[in-house]
Amino acid sequence: MDLSVPFFLLLAAIATTTVKATDHIVGGNKGWNPGINYTLWANNQTFYAGDYISFRYQKTQYNVFLVNQTGYDNCTIEGAFGNWTSGKDFIMLNKTQRYYFICGTGGCLNGMKVSVVVHPLPSSPPMSAVAAEHSSSKESAAPMAARGFGALLVTSFAIFGLTLCGLVWI
């Protein structure tokens, strides 16, 4: 019995899923450092559920805390929902909500705070509706089409793979 074909299809599905998500590097090539206006950075990005936000910084000096709006406004980490300290942190934005991240070592007072809104992943059929909603930005249409196609690929790979696996296992 040859299991390699369904296995390949599953791998392909996983690979397609991974490629689909965008990694938003906070601050771009300036990274996570004091004296940068991250509101400007965030306003220039569109975040979708399942995307990553990544923080790159000197781990001996800074870190990353996920806080609520009070924590963001006041630079406090009381009741934080999570913290990351590796210096190269990839955090998945799982939910469609507003997220608040701050530096917990004092950098927050020097601007090391960022708030991002995560949008639902646009689905393929209502493409025109989504395009209309985002008509102010022409560039957004292309990535969305790519995402829609990616999602379609994943679905078909998954169904095909499962069908084959089912056949093999039964």
Q: Provide the binding-site residues for ligand NAG, judged by CB under 6 A.
A: 37, 39-41, 44, 66, 68-71, 73-74, 78-80, 82-83, 91-94, 111
Q: Closer to ligand NAG by CB, 64 or 154: give it.
A: 64
Torsions phi, psi of 19, nearest 5?
-65, -30
Min CB(95)–ligand NAG separation in Å: 8
Handedness of CA 76, 81, 87, 90 (dihedral sign): negative
**114, 42 contact by CB (below 8 A):** yes
3-state helix/strand/coil string of 38-100: HHHHHHCCCEECCCEEEEECCCCCCCEEEECHHHHHHCCCCCCCEEECCCEEEEECCCCCEEE
Min CB(44)–ligand NAG separation in Å: 4
Q: Closer to ligand NAG by CB, 2 or 139: give it.
A: 139
Query: Crossing angle, helix 4-20 and helix 141-169, to 10 degrees?
Result: 160
Q: Closer to ligand NAG by CB, 70 or 135: give it.
A: 70
Min CB(60)–ligand NAG separation in Å: 16
Min CB(146)–ligand NAG separation in Å: 16
Q: Closer to ligand NAG by CB, 7 or 87: give it.
A: 87
Integer Cα distance of 106 and 62 in angstroms? 8
**82, 55 contact by CB (below 8 A):** no
Min CB(5)–ligand NAG separation in Å: 30
Q: Closer to ligand NAG by CB, 9 or 53: give it.
A: 53
Residue nearest to ligand NAG (CB): 79
